[in-house]
Structure 1
């Protein structure tokens, strides 16, 4: 089946979708999917083999995350151009890539960083499994500026391959796998891959992925404690809004990297954990003071959109469930009412 090429260069890798799952069971499925132009790739079977593959994930505003599984293996080629970078970790099997730079082979235990190439072919082996994330090139450049304070128009000279046994790479892999599993378990990407978490994953990638020209620039001198107060004031004033780490850093006149170091040094916690804890504190306060609101309404007010995840975070922080806090508040009110009633009878 002929695939009509799209002439336009797409600014984003895929349309934003909270969740998607595609199962290509045979070439008829593949041809129908290829014709949809939902991705810049054409999927085909390997020579002499059937095609059986599944990819499942979700897309936020800046990050597309999915897992590919194929017992048969598959081949791909490009049909239109996108200005993106793919970060892929092979979990099982291996994948061969041919592009203008030459041949690349990635096996389990290694990650690949792949700027999009319009003329490239890939072939995945049988029993293949991988986790991948696609990020717009412009998003990486803007996050690099926020992280390192250096203006640039091109990407750093990232290594094409990275060993996942390195601690930073292992942590990045666990973060991507854990996030994708939560999407697959029914938590929409719009709830998980929030602007804040997208920032965290992208900064984690930028900090962990090796560069051929050495490590990222050393951070400037640590900011003074007043910078921490400025950050906390900004966070407190915007807790109910969509907070980005880069927004807090800009309010303090700092790079993201130095802001992260400042929070870790002064508080022992990351800035993301600090924001989460402060929001949970607000939830607890409202559960105790505003009985007219449902627990879900209070959680949503402070940025928690998935009740299962919210309840787990709440219990980890306070040692009890939100419903127990609400029940405790009602019990306290009833106790006070009973005491007042007894006093009235004694009068």
Structure 2
């Protein structure tokens, strides 16, 4: 999907942002220029990437986003806040990072501000982190509100965003090819996790991760490739080509949990991804729980809340 949109009508611009990103209220700040919105927006799997500018200073209120979001500034400035946190300002050379939760307000999106706006599906980001870490993650990923894109890994990530935005704007069709789109989506997800600040970042660059034994990796890969398979510890040991006791001890040492606890956590993550994407009128928590091997609904709800900080019914309604 690709949209090239031009308008001097604020309501039309607001509707386009709602259709492609988030519900919002947009107000032009008087005396700041002529409003002329220029939006070039496209989808890349679990990501939405847009090249956006408004021509006049605007204020925008979006409520909770429900997704991770990054604005890469090319010019001008952006001042925003989420929840009770104080306002943060971004200028060229920095990227503004937004969380899925917390009321979101762009206090001032300056008229001379052109930016690449990247919306990232929450489940995709969290699953990518788990894949990089090689273990489940407890709770949401909380990013620092901004990161440097003038040097280091942030600069490389911003360049990749520009490549994707340029292709979407020019409509070359390259990103319509799965063999091109899938690696780019993965690179953007992984690149953000390696560039932005969060509590797991040091672990992603820790060389000790490379020391995890190959049998443990084989068992973990099997779980990620076939999470709905009725694994037992013995079956995982067979996948890893080691004995049951060796696998149990290795998992506790290198993963921090037993093999079957790891299977359960991966299935909880998959159940969460399904609930996030589901329509409450068409899907029931019990249906999702049973699909991922949780026969006891009450126990599933307890384990889910311990893992994600909310009940599965709350995820489905959200």
Same fold (TM over 0.5): yes
> 1:163 deviation in Å?
1.4
Equivalent residue number for residue 83 of structure 1: 66
Note if contact 1:84-1:136 (Cα within 8 Å) is conserved in structure 2. Answer: yes
Quick one: structure 1 residues 156 and 33, their matched pair in 2 at CA, closer, same or farther if it must change by over 3 Å? closer
Note if contact 1:159-1:212 (Cα within 8 Å) is conserved in structure 2. Answer: no
Equivalent residue number for residue 200 of structure 1: 187
Quick one: distance in 2 between partners of 1:38 and 1:156? 20
Note if contact 2:67-2:120 (Cα within 8 Å) is conserved in structure 1. Answer: yes
Quick one: distance in 1 between partners of 2:212 and 2:164? 32
Q: Which moved more, 1:99-108 or 1:113-122?
A: 113-122
Equivalent residue number for residue 296 of structure 1: none
Note if contact 1:175-1:201 (Cα within 8 Å) is conserved in structure 2. Answer: yes
Note if contact 1:34-1:43 (Cα within 8 Å) is conserved in structure 2. Answer: no
Larger radius of gyration: 1
Quick one: structure 1 residues 210 and 72, their matched pair in 2 at CA, closer, same or farther if it must change by over 3 Å? same
Quick one: distance in 2 between partners of 1:223 and 1:117? 34
Does structure 1 residue 73 correspond to structure 2 residue 57?
A: yes
Please give the per-residue CA displacement for 1:190-216, whole angstroms capped at 9, x wherever unaligned. Answer: 337622221121111111222367623
Please give the per-residue CA displacement for 1:298-326, whole angstroms capped at 9, x wherever unaligned. Answer: xxxxxxxxxxxxxxxxxxxxxxxxxxxxx
Equivalent residue number for residue 332 of structure 1: none
Secondary structure at the residue paired with 1:64? Answer: strand
Quick one: structure 1 residues 224 and 149, their matched pair in 2 at CA, closer, same or farther if it must change by over 3 Å? closer
Equivalent residue number for residue 145 of structure 2: 160
Quick one: structure 1 residues 175 and 113, their matched pair in 2 at CA, closer, same or farther if it must change by over 3 Å? same
Equivalent residue number for residue 171 of structure 1: 156
Quick one: distance in 2 between partners of 1:24 and 1:47? 18
Does structure 1 residue 191 correspond to structure 2 residue 171?
A: no
Structure 2: where are the runs of 5+ without partners? 219-223, 226-238, 242-318
Quick one: distance in 2 between partners of 1:111 and 1:164? 7
Secondary structure at the residue paired with 2:81? Answer: strand
Equivalent residue number for residue 126 of structure 1: 111
Does structure 1 residue 25 correspond to structure 2 residue 23?
A: no
Note if contact 2:82-2:104 (Cα within 8 Å) is conserved in structure 1. Answer: yes
Matched residue count: 219
Quick one: distance in 2 between partners of 1:41 and 1:252? 50
TM-score (normalizing by structure 2): 0.59
